Structure 1
Amino acid sequence: MTNIDLGRPVQGDVVDVILDDHRRFEELLRDLRDSSQDRDAVRRAFATLHVAHAEAEERHVYPQLRRKRAVGEHEAEHGEEEHAEGNAALLAVLELKGTDTDAFEDAVEELARVVNHHLTEEELTILNPARDEVGPRVRADLGERFCAERNRQIDNDCGALANVRRIVSAARKDGLLDEYEGRDDD
């Protein structure tokens, strides 16, 4: 667990709640790059938020947006692949012993690249259609379900190294990391 405040939203428009997390990711990535920060605490907080956020989206948001025809199967599957890539990059950061090495900085750079790409793409191809195609009542209900799952995941220490390893291993078995594995930085 972490002592860094990750927020505990319980309701809200799902688009706004997700965007709030996206801004938290950006702040945590800035802190991971900052050598004056407690980078170990920051990476644990990032891991917790990343896993909780992705699990909540995959369990509730993506399926509902597909049912409402706001996004297609391709967009949802691509979002899941990018979550898997983010988890793989996150695992590389978590598995490093020290936080003051070139290896750590390289791993953080890759994590930032993968996560920032996903945030941009998700905001354009998933959140914009959710705003345009799904009514406020459905977005509020989805926000409540997203928050409940996100908070449950956080309470269960979802960012623990063993759990991130399990998630990445499952993603590999499911073929979600094939394209990412081809990169020379893995």
Structure 2
Amino acid sequence: MNDVVELIMKDHREVERLFEQLRTDPASRPGALPVLTTLLFAHSRAEESEVYPVVADEVGASDHVEHSQEEHVEADELLAKLADTDPESPEFLTALEEVVKAVSHHIEEEEETVLADMRGGLSDERRAELGAAFLATREQHLGEQPEDITRDELRQQAANMDVPQPRGTTKDELQQKLREEASK
């Protein structure tokens, strides 16, 4: 069975392993950095589109979803900054530590809230259904980077954060609004 909670936690452990590799093995950074950024991007988009709406609607944990979504917006911004930093530069470790701090905090909170909410509020069968949907969406996004986010994905983030989306809002305007909301 592909329990969505176990799949998410497996990704979390892989992210932590990549953080350690990037910290301790400078020679691996040019190859490991795109692996980290694409994994986090794909993981986040899958949670946002498949998991978070279910947790908000079926489990009634919209506050936890909103907070987790805000942290995704922050992580996307930090990942984009890290991806633009030369892995051999002195600034790389500083940018990496910003990502590690934000993402590690998110992982800890998400495992204590959203994942616990799913374990307590969804049947094994429903978690398996979500696991299949999570894997399919994650697979679609593998290879993408934070700058590849679409307007529809930004709209999903806004819905998860309960941020109004006036008609005619451009992708850049929506992205800016999400950043502002996440930094409050």
Q: TM-score, normalised by structure 2?
A: 0.82
Secondary structure in 1 aligned to 2:113? helix
Work out the CA distance in 1 between the residues paired with 2:133 and 2:116: 19
Moved more, 164-173 or 123-132: 164-173
Work out the CA distance in 2 between the residues paired with 1:99 and 1:169: 28
TM-aligned CA distance change 1:170 to 1:145, over 3 Å? farther
Q: 1:84 aligns with which of 57, 64, 73?
A: 73
Work out the CA distance in 2 between the residues paired with 1:69 and 1:15: 14
Alignment of 1:13-162 (within 5 A): 13-71=3-61, 73-96=62-85, 98-154=86-142, 157-159=143-145, 162=147
Q: What code does the residue aligned with 1:30 have?
A: E
Q: TM-score, normalised by structure 1?
A: 0.81
Task: State the 1:67 CA deviation.
Answer: 1.8
Work out the CA distance in 1 between the residues paired with 2:16 and 2:51: 21
Gaps in structure 1 of 5+ consecutive residues: 1-10
Task: State the 1:103 CA deviation.
Answer: 0.7
Q: What code does the residue aligned with 1:64 have?
A: V
Q: What code does the residue aligned with 2:178 have?
A: G
Work out the CA distance in 2 between the residues paired with 1:37 and 1:52: 25
Task: State the 1:171 CA deviation.
Answer: 6.1
In the alignment of these two chains, the number of paired residues is 166
What RMSD over aligned residues (CA atoms) do the two structures have, in Å? Answer: 2.3
TM-aligned CA distance change 1:23 to 1:92, over 3 Å? same
Gaps in structure 2 of 5+ consecutive residues: 155-170
Task: State the 1:119 CA deviation.
Answer: 0.1
Alignment of 1:5-16 (within 5 A): 12-16=2-6
**Given that residues 70 and 181 in structure 2 are in contact (C-alpha distance below 8 angstroms), is that contact kept between their aligned partners in structure 1?**
no
Secondary structure in 2 aligned to 1:12? coil
TM-aligned CA distance change 1:178 to 1:68, over 3 Å? closer
Which of the pair is proportionally richer in helix?
Answer: 2
